[in-house]
Amino acid sequence: MSSSLGPLLADIFMGKLDKFQLSDQIHRLKHYGRYMDDIFAIAETETDVDALLNIISQAHSSIKFTYEVETAGSLPFLDVLLSLRPDDSVQTCVYGKETWSGQYTNFKIFCTPSTEAKSSPLLSSNG
């Protein structure tokens, strides 16, 4: 999103979607969490996941969601890999997608000083 209002507007849009179009389906889930447009949900059955995706996909023509199912007890969410331990506790570790090259934008060339200032603390902790 190129506008500084973009993330705020996306969060407002998704909040309204949660409240008015997804609330019934959300209450059927074991857990539902959202950061901006990234949703983390725990469902009893795959049917519940399919129902949620169906409702989200029909909510607005510009919304295109995909989903990932846990593999070997692990599931990535944002930059974190969540792994279920045998005692049902959750282990977390930093996660990078396979397509991540490890390179960042040269802020001096492509970004405004305010963008650099906002991103730098995140980059230093993402190692």
pLDDT tens figures, 17-40: 888 888 888 888 888 888 888 888
CB 25 within 8 A of CB 55: yes
pTM value > 0.75: no
CA-based nearest residue to 26, from 35, 39, 11: 39
Give the separation between CA 81 and CA 23, rounded to whole angstroms: 27
Which stretches within 31-101 are classed as H helix?
Answer: 46-59
Q: What pLDDT, on the 0 to 100 scale, is given for residue 89?
A: 92
User: Would you list the domain boundaries of the chain?
Assistant: 1-65
**Mean pLDDT, range 112-122, rounded to an integer:** 59
Q: Which of 37-46, 75-84, 104-113, 114-123 is predicted least confidently?
A: 114-123
The larger pLDDT score, comparing residue 85 to residue 61, is at 85
